[in-house]
């Protein structure tokens, strides 16, 4: 039997749910079994209609120090987490997807590496696919030069290649731990993102303020990837492309931002080649939704980004004014954690 820990900082565990009834019991049972006992639970429901709210209500009565936030409609991942953060009392805040399951020592392992004095305020899990077993979903994140990003190690067999604790660019918010001070300094998630790419934006903004991220391979989570929205949902794909552009506008230096069209066109060229070879996520999207939907989605992404551009530019001015890293330091950070365009476009 794993020993339970009853000392140390309070952790606020946040789970955001939207129509995830079939996953909730497994998810919350795994969090209830955590060996770290100094914790509270904040369960946010984004207007579910599948019976999730009743399940959340019953778990709230059973879990220690638990509260439910039942929203009347789907406000998005970002706003739901920000609302939870406003209620959280913990020194550390753990975000956990409703379609994931954690090992019992998950939280305890993450806490071992957190160090606010060294500005290590973001901790990443080793996230494996629930199915197929033994395959990596994410072990931190990598970024492409136009702001698009992907999980490190995605779709690789887990053979121990990511079994070393080390610095990463940022964690995946599917299962991550953040220090409260980091949320206070960054202001939390950008709610204009709604969902997807939000953890990338938060992670980059935190890095600009001098925070570091650490990957913890012993903090293991099993994830049913994109179980809520669907891996090739047109809405998800639109948000991913739109939000990577908003991330770049807000956080990149002017020099790098001016290069953005070149890097994006280069990525599109490799996507087109991957499509011809029937490889990668673009090919899977076309198989699922058709060519017309692909063209429509691209237009939808950029029209939506254009509508949000004034807000992003206002936020850019503040971010660039208060950042602690120089443009050279940021460039070196992105270079250290860049993803090759072929890995980005050819790997599903």
- The domain ranges of the chain are 11-223, 234-324
Q: Which residues of the chain have pLDDT under 70?
A: 1-6, 226-230
Assess contact for 279 and 348: CB atoms under 8 A: yes
SS3 202: helix
Three-state SS letters, 42-75: EEEEECCCCCHHHHHHHHHHHCCCEEEEEECCCC
Q: What is the rounded distance in angstroms from the CA atom of residue 242 to the CA atom of residue 178?
A: 25
180, two tokens? 């409260």
At 231-255, the pLDDT tens digits run 789 999 999 999 999 999 999 999 9
25, two tokens? 């019991």
Query: According to the model, what pLDDT value does residue 7 have?
Result: 74
- pTM of the predicted protein model: 0.95
Length of the chain measured in residues: 348
Q: What is the rounded distance in angstroms from the CA atom of residue 297 to the CA atom of residue 189?
A: 24
- Give which of 1, 35, 13, 7 is closest to 109, Cα–Cα: 35
Residues 6+ apart with CB under 8 A from 178: 92, 93, 94, 95, 121, 122, 123
Query: According to the model, what pLDDT value does residue 156 have?
Result: 96
What angle do helix axes 234-251 and 198-208 make, rounded to 10 degrees?
A: 10
258: exposed, middle or buried (Cβ count in 10 Å: 0-12, 13-18, 19+): exposed
Q: What is the rounded distance in angstroms from the CA atom of residue 219 to the CA atom of residue 122?
A: 13
Print burial letters for 36-46: b (CB count within 10 Å at least 16), e (below 16): bebbbbbbbbb
Residues 6+ apart with CB under 8 A from 340: none
Q: Which fold has domain 11-223?
A: Spore Coat Polysaccharide Biosynthesis Protein SpsA; Chain A (3.90.550)
Alpha helices for the chain (secondary structure H): 21-32, 52-62, 77-87, 106-113, 180-186, 198-208, 234-251, 254-258, 260-276, 280-289, 291-322, 327-336, 341-346
Query: According to the model, what pLDDT value does residue 1 have?
Result: 38
The gap from C-alpha 335 to its chain's centroid, in whole angstroms, comes to: 20
């Amino acid at each position: 039997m794993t020993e339970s820990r009853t000392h140390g900082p309070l952790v606020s565990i946040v789970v955001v749910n939207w129509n995830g009834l079939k996953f909730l019991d497994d998810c919350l049972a795994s969090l209830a079994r955590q060996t770290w006992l100094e914790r509270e639970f904040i369960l946010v429901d984004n207007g579910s209609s599948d019976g999730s709210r009743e399940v959340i209500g019953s778990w709230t009565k059973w879990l220690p120090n638990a509260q439910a936030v039942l929203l009347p409609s789907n406000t998005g991942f970002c706003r739901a987490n920000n609302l939870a953060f406003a209620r959280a009392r913990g020194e550390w805040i753990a975000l956990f997807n409703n379609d994931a399951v954690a090992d019992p020592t998950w939280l305890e392992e993450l806490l071992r590496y957190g160090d606010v004095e060294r500005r290590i305020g973001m901790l990443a899990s080793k996230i494996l696919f629930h199915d197929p077993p033994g395959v990596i979903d994410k072990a931190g994140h990598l970024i492409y030069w136009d702001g698009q990003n992907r999980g490190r190690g995605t779709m690789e067999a887990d053979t121990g290649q990511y079994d070393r604790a080390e610095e990463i660019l940022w964690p995946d918010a599917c299962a991550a731990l953040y220090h409260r001070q980091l949320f206070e300094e960054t202001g939390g998630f950008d709610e204009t993102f709604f969902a997807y790419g939000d953890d990338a934006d938060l992670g980059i903004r935190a890095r600009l303020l001098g925070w570091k991220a650490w990957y913890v391979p012993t903090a293991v989570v099993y994830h049913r990837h994109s179980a809520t929205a669907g891996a090739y949902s047109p809405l998800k794909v639109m948000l991913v492309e739109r939000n990577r552009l908003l991330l770049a506008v807000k956080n990149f230096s002017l020099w790098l931002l001016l290069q953005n069209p070149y890097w994006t066109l280069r990525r599109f060229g490799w996507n087109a080649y991957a499509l011809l070879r029937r490889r990668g996520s673009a090919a899977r999207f076309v198989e699922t939704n058709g060519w017309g939907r692909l063209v429509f989605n691209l237009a939808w992404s950029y029209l939506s980004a254009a509508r949000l551009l004034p807000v992003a530019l206002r936020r850019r001015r503040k971010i660039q004014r208060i950042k602690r890293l120089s443009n050279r330091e940021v460039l070196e950070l992105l270079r250290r954690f860049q993803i090759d365009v072929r890995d980005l476009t050819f790997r599903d």
